[in-house]
Each structure stands twice: as C-alpha cells, then as structure tokens.
Chains A and B, each alone.
Chain A
C-alpha cells in the first residue's frame, strides 16, 4: 500500500500542473480530464523506468503529460478531417504562480529562442504546445514543407548551440 500512498502524494503535488498543461494544449475541459487519467495511469505503470531515463522528475512528468495531450489533440484533428483551425493565438498571460516558476531555466530557453528568427521560435513553440506538424507549420508560414523542415532543423541546431553555452 506504500506505493499507492506515494502515488496519491505524487498526484497531490503534481496534478494541477499537469492538468494545466492538458488544458493549455487541448483547450477543452472534458478532454483534458480524460487525458489526465491516462497520464497518471501511464506514470504508475512506467515509474520503474523513470530511474533509467536520466530526466529530472518534473521533466519526466511534464513530458508524459504534454505528449499525451498532443496525441489526443492530433487524434481530434485527424477525426475532424484536419479542419481544426490552427490556434495561432498567443498564450494567455501567465499568472503569478507560473511567473514565479519561470525562473532561471526558463529564461535561458526563452533567451535562446529570442536569438532565432521570430517565426522559427514561433514554430518551435507551436510544435511543442499546439502539436503543430510540419504540414501545419508549412501552411501557417506559407512555405513548402521541405523548406519548413530545413528551416526548423537549422533553427534547432542554433537553439541547441545556444543552450549548450
């Protein structure tokens, strides 16, 4: 039963953050609640793998949540025949708690994103938070898909170099 108690504490400590991520990605409360369940089931099942994957605990949880939410979003888009409008809207302004959390690490990433061309930085954010595919991005920036990919790969390299500094 110790495992279950630990799991409940983990849920208490992290579910609001992960639910926030689901809501941000899916923008639909019912779907977000559904995906949140899947996320914690995945966490329970994969806890044994955590130690070998080399990620910090919060990163591991955030990544599971983000990936599950994006998967759901893409399935929804596929079902609706790809007619889902691309949400190019800016993120809502972060509240005080998020701002407090967005301390040094986040500043480093944002600093490095700022070194990229504005549209490329938007593309990286769009892929991570809105599940944009190369096809979505190519359509949004009105360039051929291969061009989009070449751009983004070069930007990722620049970003990597900056982050490694």
Chain B
C-alpha cells in the first residue's frame, strides 16, 4: 500500500473497500478474520453497508415472475409445497396508514425480528466446512455445514424426500476408507448431527454421501441401499 493512513483511518477505508467488494480474496479473508473478533471493525463495516445500500434506493422495484416463489419454496421446503400465500394482503391497512415504504420497512422488521427466528436447527454462524450433496438427476439435494466449535454438522434437505417407508442415512467417505455412518436423517428437513470426536479430523477433504436404507438405517454398518447423492466437503 503506497498511501500511509493512520491505523483507524486505514480501517475505515478498508471496511469500505470490503463492503464494496474491492479487496482481493486473500485480503477479504484476512478482513473477515479480524471482523469476527473486532467489534469496532464490525461497527465500521456496518456503517458502510448501511450507507452504501442507499445506492440501491434509486433502483425501481420490478415484480419477479409469479412462478419464482414456487421455485424457491420447492428448493427450501420440497416440491410438494403448495404455496399460495397472500399473507401480504394483510399489509393493506399498514400501507394506507404509512405509505408503501414505511409499511414495507415495518413489516420486514416484524417478520425478520419475530416471525423468522428459527426454532428448529440452526445453520452454523461460521461453518468450517460445507458440502452440497446432489443426486445425479438432481431429484435429491442436501446441504451440510460443519460447526467446528461444537463439532456438529447441520444438514438440510433442500429437495427430495426419502422413499416411502425408507430412511436416508448419511455417510462420511474419507479417502479409500469404508464409509462411516454419521447417522440416519430424521424426516424433518433440517437436523443437527453430533460428529463423533474421532471423525472430526477426517472431514477435511472427505466426501459426504446419503444412501437409501430400511427404516432405522443400515442394519450392517455399511450402506446397503443405493447411494443417492454425494458431495465433496469443502473449506469455507
């Protein structure tokens, strides 16, 4: 860096560069590492994000095509989701009272603040590893994220369901070793699995797979049914 700014000023500029996406990947990673432990830096960054977002004010809203929500719901909650919501209709009186923008901001605040607080398994804040397990025909897609602090693996089924009367079982496939079971996935879409101590160090560079198994999982300790989806574990 050819310019020499006092440290605090340098951080102000750096936070702005990060918010604009101007840092190189290495610089961005270093910044994120500092961000995690430095509340002052987080405040600088939040100021920039808040201010720069105003650049989007001039952009006109454009209604997305009607099928867009269905596609999102299908990816999140499964294909059978029949969603027609009209929940937004309840906003009518708010809109009348405050005008569109204020009503939107208020509703968004309420929804995010109250309605969307997850009560189920939570996606880890800062996963060390992630993996996307995808079936060849994309009929089954799972997403996994490993929380190194807790030694837990968050697993969410984005698309597809176990076959009727069958369970999905998750496997760790490290190198040429035999697959090791990480457990049977519940029928819920998302779950958190405790990864046994002995397996934690083997996640790096390994793959995850799910197989089709009888209820309760493989009776033999090795996959007995078809391997439905596989995904490489990657560092975040």
Are A and B interaction partners?
Answer: yes
Q: Which residues of A contact B (CB under 8 A)?
A: 2-17, 19-21, 23-24, 33, 36-37, 40-41, 44-51, 53-63, 66-67, 70, 91, 94-95, 97-103, 105-106, 108-110, 124-125, 127-129, 131, 133-134, 146, 149-150, 152-154, 156-157, 159-160, 163-164
| 16 pairs from A and B in contact (CB 8 Å cutoff) | A4-B77, A5-B115, A13-B91, A36-B64, A36-B72, A40-B76, A50-B112, A53-B46, A55-B49, A101-B101, A102-B57, A128-B20, A157-B5, A160-B12, A160-B16, A160-B47
Measured CA separation A109–B89 after assembly (Å): 33
Say whether B166 faces chain A, with CB atoms less than 8 Å apart.
no
Contact flag A163-B51 (CB < 8 Å), given A37-B71, A55-B46: yes
Nearest-CB residue, chain A, relative to B46: A54
Does the CB pair B87–A8 fall under 8 Å? yes
Say whether B175 faces chain A, with CB atoms less than 8 Å apart.
no
The contact size tier of chain B is 35 or more
Please pick, from B60, B72, B114, the residue contacting A98 in the complex, using a CB distance under 8 A: B60
Contact flag A95-B72 (CB < 8 Å), given A10-B112, A47-B117, A63-B53: no
Chain A contacts for B156, CB-based, 8 A: 45
Interface centre among A12, A14, A50, A164 (most CB of B within 10 A): A12
Interface residues of B in 1-55 (CB under 8 A from A): 1-3, 5, 9, 12-13, 16-17, 20-22, 42-43, 46-55
Q: Lowest 8 A-B CB distances belong to which pairs?
A: A6-B115, A12-B88, A16-B61, A8-B85, A156-B16, A9-B87, A47-B116, A153-B13
Say whether B196 faces chain A, with CB atoms less than 8 Å apart.
no
Contact flag A106-B21 (CB < 8 Å), given A3-B115, A41-B76: no
Does the CB pair A67–B115 fall under 8 Å? no
Does the CB pair B116–A7 fall under 8 Å? yes
Does the CB pair B105–A58 fall under 8 Å? yes
Chain B contacts for A19, CB-based, 8 A: 61-64, 68
Please pick, from A41, A102, A108, A127, the residue contacting B22 in the complex, using a CB distance under 8 A: A127
Say whether B108 faces chain A, with CB atoms less than 8 Å apart.
yes
Does the CB pair A9–B115 fall under 8 Å? yes
Q: Which residues of B contact A (CB under 8 A)?
A: 1-3, 5, 9, 12-13, 16-17, 20-22, 42-43, 46-65, 68-69, 71-73, 75-77, 83, 85, 87-88, 90-91, 100-101, 104-105, 107-109, 111-119, 122-123, 125, 156, 158
Report the minimum CB–CB distance from A152 to chain B (whole Å): 7
Does the CB pair A58–B108 fall under 8 Å? yes
Contact flag A57-B108 (CB < 8 Å), given A127-B21, A129-B55, A157-B13: yes
Chain B contacts for A160, CB-based, 8 A: 12-13, 16, 47-48
Measured CA separation A156–B17 after assembly (Å): 8
Does the CB pair B60–A94 fall under 8 Å? yes
Does the CB pair B3–A154 fall under 8 Å? yes
Chain B contacts for A98, CB-based, 8 A: 57-61
Chain A contacts for B13, CB-based, 8 A: 153-154, 156-157, 160
- Extra pairs beyond A10-B111, A15-B69, A55-B50 (9, CB < 8 Å): A9-B90, A33-B68, A37-B68, A41-B76, A49-B125, A51-B117, A63-B49, A94-B58, A160-B16
Please pick, from A3, A23, A59, A102, the residue contacting B116 in the complex, using a CB distance under 8 A: A3
Contact flag A41-B75 (CB < 8 Å), given A10-B116, A48-B117, A51-B113: yes
